[in-house]
């Protein structure tokens, strides 16, 4: 039961036809380069979108900081008024408003 290798004679019959790995490797390389180029383009687009989103959010952040400063001033004025005014004292008591120590100051 000896099997001998029999070469493919069909390739020999067609002149000029030779199996070569060059064309599949070139196609694979070109597709890989196209894929990398597409990924770089998408990454660049995504980076630009993130930068634009951050730029659009800056006015909202500034506005929220201004509102927070106004509310803080309003509450501190209410606490000052609560020392002499009964209506302000009733509001402070009802909503349990307390003055927190500023950051960095020693606590009592």
pLDDT of residue 75: 92
What pTM, to 2 d.p., does this model score? 0.50
Query: Where are the chain's structural domains?
Result: 21-95
Backbone angles phi, psi at 20, to 5 degrees: -135, 145
pLDDT of residue 14: 58
Residuewise pLDDT in 10s, the chain (108 residues): 567 776 665 555 555 666 688 999 999 999 999 999 999 999 999 999 999 999 999 999 999 999 999 999 999 999 999 999 999 999 999 999 888 866 666 655
Q: Are 56 and 79 in contact (CB under 8 A)?
A: no
For 78, counting Cβ atoms within 10 Å of its Cβ (0-12 exposed, 13-18 middle, 19+ buried), the class is: middle
pLDDT of residue 4: 74
């Amino acid at each position: 039961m000896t099997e001998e290798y029999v070469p493919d004679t069909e390739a020999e019959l067609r002149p000029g036809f030779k199996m070569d790995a060059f064309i599949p490797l070139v196609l694979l390389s070109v597709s890989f380069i196209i894929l990398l180029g597409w990924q770089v383009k998408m990454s660049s687009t995504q980076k630009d979108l993130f930068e634009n989103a951050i730029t659009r959010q800056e006015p909202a952040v500034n506005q929220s900081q201004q509102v927070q400063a106004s509310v803080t001033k309003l509450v501190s004025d209410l606490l000052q008024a609560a020392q002499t005014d009964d209506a302000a004292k009733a509001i402070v008591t009802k909503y349990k408003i307390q003055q927190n120590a500023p950051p960095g100051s020693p606590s009592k």
